[in-house]
Amino acid sequence: MQFIDEVKIHVHGGDGGNGVVAFRREKFVPRGGPSGGDGGHGGSVILVADTQLGTLLDLRYQQHYLGKRGEHGQGRDRYGKGGEDSLVRVPVGTLIRDAATGEILADLVTAGDRFVAGKGGKGGRGNIHFATSTNQAPRTAEDGEPGEERTLRLELKLLADVGLLGFPNVGKSTFIARVSRARPKIADYPFTTLIPNLGVVGLSDERSFVLADIPGLIEGAAEGHGLGHRFLRHVERTSVLLHLVELPMGAGDGNEREPLHDFDIINRELARYDPALATRPQVVALSKLDLTETREAYPALRAAFAKRGVELHALSAVTGEGMPEILERLWAQIATARARPA
């Protein structure tokens, strides 16, 4: 299934039905008076958060949503039937903006959350409402009001406790595959992961958290290099970031990277996207500890990171070494965040 995390849709609430001008003309009722009923209210277009959805794909193919029109009033005091609401299912974590102004209208973060995107119009009043002592046979009725119409931009922000960051090929996909049932594509070329992957990590004592693997960032992402900042919105709701760095192989070609430099680049890109993300708690780990070169370089790298006030851990997603300690550190940060008042 395609992963779609941003779409535009057009919504139009149903128009209200018209009120009617009518008079009672019944046998043995010589002075029947006005009997025109009201029109029914139009149906609204309502967005509903649904846990069964993980993408906005369906809305990419159907972008226009219309509420049902209310029925017109009828004679003999009969009111028109109200139009049915149109329910549109969206993933939990959908942010709704006005496409014209960019104003945030709603944020559906809990299953079942609703937002009336296009309100149905009110039905018009029939002539039964306009009778007075001086006008006992009014020939006045109201038309129904038009439904609300507007264009919305929907943005999906995944709901995850931990965001997994790092340069391409540092081992993020291998990590999430090791600790959860997520099965991302794993290969030895850059940008193997093209979409975010979610995995549920289970710990002892029935503890669990959600981990989001975000496609690799590179320097210049703000200018659109690599995959750009397109997927960084998916770590905005996280409690903690797991930042993986690696000791690049192939030294001597003049293009090798350096873990501390990579760490600085990623954090700089985070700050450019959203300063609050750069201050988010991070657990930093050197990956691929199963490789001899990485294991030998780890003590010196740990000391270099310590000079920056950053504790550098080490792990191997292939063998599992160091993984339990990393997961417990992540859980400690998550538990602290969950204990804070909302």
Of 156, 172, 189, which closes a domain? 156
- Taking the C-alpha atoms of residue 184 and residue 192, their distance in angstroms, rounded to an integer, is 9
The answer to the question of residue 1 being in a domain is no
Q: Which tokens sit at 50?
A: 């649904």
For position 29, which CATH number holds?
2.70.210.12
- Helices 172-179 and 323-339 pack at an angle, to 10 degrees, of 80
Q: Which residue among 137, 156, 175 closes a domain?
A: 156
Residue 96 and residue 167 in one domain:
no
CATH of the domain at 228: 3.40.50.300
Domain assignment of residue 287, yes or no: yes
Residues 324 and 187 in one domain: yes
Does 280 fall in a domain?
Answer: yes
Whether the pLDDT of residue 232 is over 80: the answer is: no
User: Domain end: 156, 186, 220, which one?
Assistant: 156
State the DSSP H helix or E strand holding residue 330, giving kind and residue range, or none if neither: helix 323-339
Q: What is the mean pLDDT of residues 104-125?
A: 96
- Interval 39-68 mean pLDDT: 93
As a whole number of angstroms, the distance between CA 223 and CA 231 comes to 14
**Pairwise CA distance, residues 312 & 298, whole Å:** 9
Same domain, 139 and 202: no
**Residue 62 shares a structural domain with residue 145:** yes
Task: Clarify whether residues 152 and 166 are in a common domain.
Answer: no
pLDDT digits (tens, 9 = 90+) for 210-229: 998 887 665 554 444 444 46
Q: Are residues 125 and 217 in the same domain?
A: no
Domain shared by 114 and 243, yes or no: no
Instruction: Give the residue among 261, 51, 283 at the shortest CA–CA distance from 164.
Output: 283
pLDDT at 144 over 80: yes
Beta bridge partners of 66: 12
Looking at the 3D structure of the chain, how many domains does it have?
2
Range of the domain at 28: 6-156
In a domain, 55, yes or no: yes
Residue 244, φ and ψ in degrees, nearest 5: -95, 135
Q: Does 202 lie in the same domain as 147?
A: no
The verdict on residue 239 lying in a domain is yes
Tell me, yes or no, whether 184 lies in a domain.
yes
Q: Give pLDDT, residue 251.
A: 46
- The answer to whether the beta carbons of residues 55 and 3 sit under 8 Å apart is yes
- Please check whether residues 148 and 212 belong to one and the same domain: no
Beta strand ranges found along the chain (DSSP E)? 6-12, 45-50, 64-66, 86-91, 94-98, 104-108, 114-118, 149-156, 162-165, 197-202, 208-213, 240-245, 282-286, 312-314
pLDDT tens-digit profile of 262-301? 999 889 888 888 888 888 999 999 999 999 999 999 999 9
Tell me whether residue 245 is exposed, middle or buried, using C-beta atoms within 10 angstroms of its C-beta: 0 to 12, 13 to 18, 19 or more.
Answer: buried
Pair 132, 189 in one domain = no
Judge if 140 and 201 occupy the same domain. no
Beta bridge partners of 210: 200
Under 8 Å between Cβ of 97 and 155? yes
Q: Is position 112 within any domain? A: yes
Q: Are residues 168 and 151 part of one domain?
A: no
Spatial CB neighbours of 340, under 8 Å, sequence gap ≥ 6: none
